[in-house]
Structure 1
Amino acid sequence: MQTPGELLATLPLGTRVVVRHRISGGFTDSLGDLMSLDASTCTVRTRRGDDVVRLDDVTAAKTVPPAPPRRAPRRRPTGDGPDR
C-alpha cells in the first residue's frame, strides 16, 4: 500500500489535493494546489496562503476535484421595495 508521502511524490505540481497532518493537539487539513515537494516537506497553496507541511506529519493525502466557481457577491437592496 502506498504511503501519503509516496502518493504526493507521484502527483504533478499544480494538482489539487487535501493533506491531513498532525498539529499540536490534533490534526488539520490543507486543501489546495500542490506547489512543491522535496524530501522532507510539501507546500499546499490554500485560499489563505501557502502551507508548508512536514512529510513526517502527513497522515493522509488524496487528490480532489477542482474548486467550484466562486459565487458572485450579494447585492445590497436598492431601497425600491419593502424592507425585510
Structure 2
Amino acid sequence: MHMGGRLVHRITPEDVGRRVSVRTTLPGGGFTDIVGVVESWDGGVITVRRRDGSAVEVEESAVAASRVVPPVPPRRRGGPPPRTA
C-alpha cells in the first residue's frame, strides 16, 4: 500500500466482490486495517465482509490506502493422505 513512502488508494467500485485490504484513518490519528470482500460501494460508503462474517462500513473519505489482495487459499482438510500397503 506504500509507493515511495506514500499511501495509495487502489480499489474502485468495480472491485465489489473482490478481496481487499483497506487502511483507514482513526479519529484520534493512526490507522487500522480491514481485510475482506467488498460487498457494496454505495453513496461513498464501502461495506467489507470479514472472514469471520462481520461486516464493516467504511466512509470512502476515511480510506488512506487500499489494494486488491489474493483470495484466501482453501484449507487443507485432515492430515496427509492415508497410506496404502
TM-score with structure 2 setting the length: 0.68
Is the 2:23–2:65 contact (alpha carbons within 8 Å) kept by the matching residues of 1? yes
- Structure 1 residues 71, 14: closer, same or farther in 2, change over 3 A? same
Quick one: distance in 1 between partners of 2:77 and 2:26?
A: 34
| Equivalent of 2:36 in 32, 36, 42 | 32
Displaced runs of 4+ in structure 1, greater than 3 A? 70-73
RMSD of equivalent CA atoms: 2.3
In the alignment, structure 1 residue 18 sits paired with structure 2 residue 9: no
Larger Rg belongs to: 1
What is the SS of the residue equivalent to 1:56? helix
Structure 1: gaps (5+ residues): 74-84
Partner residue of 2:49? 45
Taking every aligned residue pair, what percent have the same amino acid on both sides? 39
Gaps of 5+ in 2: 1-7, 79-85
Structural mapping, 1:45-84, within 5 Å: 45-48=49-52, 49-70=54-75
2:12 corresponds to which residue? 8
* Total equivalences in the alignment: 70
- What TM-score do you get using the length of structure 1 for normalisation? 0.69
